[in-house]
Structure formats: structure tokens, C-alpha cells
Amino acid sequence: MRYTIHRGQHEIGGMCIEVASDSGTRILLDLGMPLVAPDGGDFPRDTPRRPTSELLDEGVLSRVAGLYPDDATTPSIEAIVLTHSHLDHYGLAHHARPEIPVYGSDGTVSILEVGKVFFPDAVVPPDLRRLPTDTRVS
């Protein structure tokens, strides 16, 4: 296995960790919103809704080959797994290609679904799926 920390190593938030198997399977753990802007201040509230290209140019989104819709590279990320329901772990996952499945635990998915009721302008991945709990991964 190979791990690549695309974001979140030298800052709090904005987690994006790639896990690649020896056979070439690649998944991401989280695709989160950074908590602090490069100038040390807060990001504007609408930052997650800004165009993917702008967020890539500004370094808010990590450049991961094949992850985003406008990338001509063939999608090579098999899935995104959200570790939990904090914005700095899920907040930019909706920018990924729609054909890349996004998974969360029962608790993560439930919290994000309920959160949309109280925060209707929140952006969550459109096809968020529950991670199967009865399947063995080998």
C-alpha cells in the first residue's frame, strides 16, 4: 500500500489522503474544506460552491489526477470514503466526478442528511452512499 497526503498534513482541516494498493486501486479518504485561508483568515461561506477550476487554481482543492470533471485524465479513483461528518473532511467532495462513488458510515450519512434540513445551503455529495457494514474487505 502507498499513502499520499494531498492535503491536511501541515494544517488543520482540508483532509485529502490517497490510499493506493499494489495492484493500482486508488481511493481517497476525505475531500474536505480547509478551515483556515492561506492568509490566516476565514474562507468566505460560499467557497465550497465556487467553481472547481477556481478552487484548483487557488490551491483550495488538491490536484489529484482523474478526480475532477474537467480533468481529461481517465478517472482512476475508485471511491471516496468520508471518515466523518465534519466540513473539513467532506466539504469539497461534491467537486469530484459524479461517477466516483462517495461513501460514509451510517452515522456520517445520517448526520449529513439531517444537516440539510437545518442548513439547506450546505453542499454534500449528491450521491452519498452508506458504506456496507456487513462486507469483509480483503
pLDDT in tens, 108-122: 999 999 988 888 878
**Coil, strand or helix: which one is 96?**
coil
Q: Which pTM value belongs to this model?
A: 0.90
Q: Where are the domains of the chain?
A: 2-130
Q: Which DSSP category does 15 fall into?
A: -
Mean pLDDT (the chain, rounded): 90
User: Do the Cβ atoms of 61 and 52 come closer than 8 Å?
Assistant: yes
Q: Give the three cell numbers for residue 121.
A: 445551503
Q: Which CATH architecture has domain 2-130?
A: 4-Layer Sandwich (3.60)
